[in-house]
Structure formats: structure tokens, C-alpha cells
Structure 1
Amino acid sequence: MSRQTADDGLPSARDGIDERQAQWRAELPDVDTRGMAILGRARWITLAARPPIEAVLKAYDLDSGEADVLFTLLRSGPPYRLRPTELFRSLMISSGGLTDRLNRLAKAGLIRRVEAEGDGRSLPVELTEEGRRRAREAFREDMAVEAAMLRGLTEEEQVQLAALLRKLTLTIPTADRRD
């Protein structure tokens, strides 16, 4: 018995986006719904991925915004220190939002403000030993959860999909693209 395939050559299993496209083809056959096929699925994936990722972060007593700060500081490398403006630009949030996150993280003992050499106007933000430990552990577990979500794709498919998404990201004009 052979499996049926869809127009794209993949097995003919259908999802909710396929159903919506079929409905729109019947209602407005002149409208191209390929954007829905891609962006609708990207949105669904994002929404489905959030709860397990947020559960990982919660296990480390972090929310996603706090984790963003810790991960940004950790990936900056030793001494795991950035100026607030560098964090602000990297995270693409309001300065008030950053201040709130920094205050919560400092209160939890995960970051500290340090004197800037030769610059008294800015107090760089630095991970504490506990902040580095928690960030490393949470990031490792987060990446394991995300890898598990991708098990339905071969390694080659994952590389291809990442390349296509990168290409799409670079072609969609937006003022607040995160690099």
C-alpha cells in the first residue's frame, strides 16, 4: 500500500492550517494563502513551544524575560558583564522593562552592578557565580527540550529549515528584529 502525498511531496497528513487553506480556497479562490501555510504554522509552533520552555525556566525560578537577561550575559563570555545599554539593545525592550528585570535578578542574587572603569555614569551588569550556574543549567535544559521538539525532522531537514527561516527573517522588513 502506498502512502498518499500532498502537492509538496510530503505525506498527506493534514493539520489545521491545511483545513483553513481549503476553506479559503472555497470562499476566495483568487487569494494566495501560502503566507498562512508558513507564518500560520510558525505562529502555531511558537505558541505550542512556549509552555514546555516556560516550564523549564520556572523550574529555575525564572521567567522568560529574566532568562533572556541571564542568557545574554552568559553568552557574552567572561567576565559576563555588559552595560545596560548593551543589554537594552540586545533584548529590544523598554528601558523600564530592563530596569524591572535587573532589579528582580539583583534581588535574587543572580546579577550585580559593578563600577565601570573610568566611567562613573554607567554601572555594568554582571552575572554572579549563582547567576552563571543557574543560566548554564537552565539554558542546557531549554536546549534539550527544544531539541526534543525537533525530533520529527532529520538533521538535514533541521539544517534546511534553519537556513530557510534565516533567509525569511532577513527578507522581512522590521524595525525591531532581534539579531
Structure 2
Amino acid sequence: MTGRARTGEGRRDLEACRAALEAHYAVHRTIPSMAGLARLWDYASKSSASRLVDQLIEAGVLLWSTDRRLAPGSAFRILPDPQAQVSDAPYLNDMGPNDNGRHNPDPLQAALAAWATDYDPVLVRAYSVTTRLLRLARSMERHMTQSAAREGLTSGDVLLLDALYRVGPPHRIAPTALKHYFLMSLAGVAKRVDRLEALGFIRRVPNPDDRRGLFIELTHAGRAALTRLVAVDRTAPHILWPTMLSDRQYQAMIESLTVAEAVVAAADKNDRSEFPPPDM
């Protein structure tokens, strides 16, 4: 076999394994261990999987996090969950070749029609809004994860850096007080602080009012990373879509979401002890 043929075969193998990994991530939202990757790619040993991982890292598809776990890199294609699309297929497939979109292709509209035949009208109204919000949130989180990966971060890491930034100069605060600046629940703060410190994005400094206490402080490198991510947001549809709303639509959405948050948060207080918030 010629070197060119072997190179082409290796590239096809690399692409096939990359596709399998991205498909796995779409469903599980995790990167398997080296042993798990060997099973996923049907390799005989972890060493074989390790060599392929090195190639994927070189291509920007994967990266090592500070806690030595594999994570999606900037070139990783974050795909929609195929299991979430299963219910969509029948409605989309009902469209004939000459439909040209005359029938609304949105599967949610077909779902509403089905729900309306058996469900309480109040529930139909609830499902129609909740399902759209969940689909939108999934899509936005997927894009946020992909954006954060440009800096070797998770979306939760970015939220922590943003919270430190919003504290104001010198962007320094006690770790126990930091939670008051989070705009949403964020688990594993201590581990994130360790990871971001290892990356040089934050540092621990002495608390002048408490010899035993420490502040965490946003570094110049951390602010630079945040600035780069904000620059990306200026052209990101998952961030900019509210700018496409009219003033009336925007105000109505803000008022509606404020009411929804208050209602759900009130019910959520009773559940928090049993169900801890998911990690971002």
C-alpha cells in the first residue's frame, strides 16, 4: 500500500472516529474516558485510542481540561440530541416533494394539534410555551458551550468569570460572597476556582481584614479571555436574537419571563433540598 493510500485511510478513520464521538456527545453530553473511547471506536487497547486522541487534540477537536479530563475543543461540532428529534421526524416526513413549505414544518404545531385532541386545553397552552423554551434553552446552551470551549472553558467557568467582573474593580471578592453575583445556579464553585486559578484567569489574594481568609480576584488574563468571548457574542445568533424583536415584543417577553421565573422559583424552594441544581 502506498503512503498516500495509507494517509487517506488514516484520515477517513480519524473522521469516522470524530463523527462517532460527536454523535456520542450529542446524546450524553460527556467525553468518555480513554477506555470508553477505545470501546466507542472499537479499538483493542487504550493506547490505540490515545494516539487518535492526540490527533484530535492537534486538530482542535478535543482538549485537556486542567483536571486532566477530555473536553470539546474549538473545532468540536456540537450536534443536536438525535433522541430529541425523534418525535419531529414523522411530521417532517409527511411533507410531500411539492409541499414547498405550504404546511408549517414546525413539529411543535403538529404536536399541539395532537395534544388538543386528548389533553386539557390549559395543559396544551402550557406545553406549547414550555416546549419552545426548552428547545431554545438547549440550543442556546449548546452554542454557549461551543463558544466557551474556544478558551478551554465550560459555560459555568465563563459565568464565574463574569460574576467576578461584575463585582467591579479590583474584581475581587470572598468566595462565600461570590454566589450572590451568579445570575443562575452554579454548582462546583470550589473546583472551578481551582481550575481557573491553574489557567491563570483568577488568583487567590490575602484578605486584609481577615488573616485566615482569602479573596479570589480576576486576573488580566481572565479579563482578556472574557473580552474575547464578549467579542464573539457580538455576532452570535444565540445571543443577538432579542435584538430582532420589536420594542413591544421585547417588553412583553421580559414581563412574561419575569412572571414565569417568580412562579417556578416559588415552587422550586420546596424541591431544592431533594434535587441539587445541575452543574453548568
TM class by shorter chain equals 0.7 to 0.9
Aligned partners of 1:119 and 1:38: how far apart in 2?
49
Number of aligned positions between the proteins: 164
- 1:141 paired with 2:232, answer yes
Q: Which amino acid aligns with 2:155?
A: S
CA–CA distance in structure 2, aligned partners of residues 121 and 17 of structure 1: 56
C-alpha spacing 1:158/1:120, structure 2 compared with 1 (3 Å): same
Q: 1:30 to 1:38 in 2, by over 3 A?
A: closer
Of 109, 112, 118, the residue aligned with 2:200 is 109
Q: Deviations over 1:127-165 (max 9, x none)?
A: 011111111221342354234334553343223212221
- Residues of 2 paired with 1:165 and 1:144: CA distance? 24
TM-score computed with the length of structure 1 as normaliser? 0.79
Alignment partners' CA distance in 2, 1:117 and 1:128? 18
Structure 1 residue 126: deviation in Å?
0.3
1:161 aligns with 2:256: no
> 1:41 aligns to what?
132
1:79 to 149, 157, 170: 170
5+ long unaligned stretches in structure 1: 1-11
> Relative to structure 1, is the Cα distance of residues 29 and 125 closer, same or farther in structure 2, using a 3 angstrom cutoff?
closer
Secondary structure in 1 matching 2:213: coil
Comparing both chains, which one has the higher relative contact order based on Cα–Cα distances under 8 Å and sequence gaps of 6 or more? 1
Aligned partners of 1:156 and 1:147: how far apart in 2? Answer: 19
Deviation at 1:23, TM superposition (A): 1.0
Equivalent positions of 1:1-179 (< 5 A) are 13=104, 15-28=106-119, 32-91=123-182, 92-94=185-187, 97-142=188-233, 144-145=235-236, 146-150=238-242, 152-172=244-264, 173=266, 174-175=268-269
Higher Rg of the two aligned structures: 2
CA separation of 1:148 and 1:118: change in aligned 2, threshold 3 A: closer
Q: Judging changes above 3 Å, is the alpha-carbon distance between structure 1 residues 30 and 126 closer, same or farther for their aligned structure 2 residues?
A: closer
Superposed CA RMSD: 2.5
Paired residues of 1:109 and 1:131 also in contact (CA < 8 A): yes
Give identity over the alignment, percent.
24
Distance 1:138 1:125 in 2: 21
- In 1, the alpha carbon distance for the partners of 2:110 and 2:180 equals 40
Answer with 72-81 or 114-123: which moved more.
114-123
CA contact (8 A) 2:166 2:181 kept: no
Q: Which residue of 2 aligns with 1:7?
A: none
**Equivalent pair of 2:173/2:217 in contact (CA under 8 Å):** yes
CA contact (8 A) 1:70 1:131 kept: yes
1:49-78 CA-to-partner distances (Å, cap 9, x unmatched) read 122222221112211111111010011111
Cα distance in 1 for partners of 2:111, 2:262 equals: 27
1:67 maps to a residue whose letter is: V
- Name the CA distance, whole Å, in 2 between partners of 1:78 and 1:35: 43
Q: Which amino acid aligns with 1:42?
A: L
Structure 2 residue runs without a partner (length 5+): 1-102
Q: TM-score, normalising length from structure 2?
A: 0.52
Segment of structure 1 superposing worse, 107-116 or 82-91: 82-91
Query: Aligned partners of 2:203 and 2:215: how far apart in 1?
Result: 8
Task: Give yes or no for contact 1:53–1:142 (8 Å, CA) kept in 2.
Answer: no
SS of equivalent to 2:206: coil
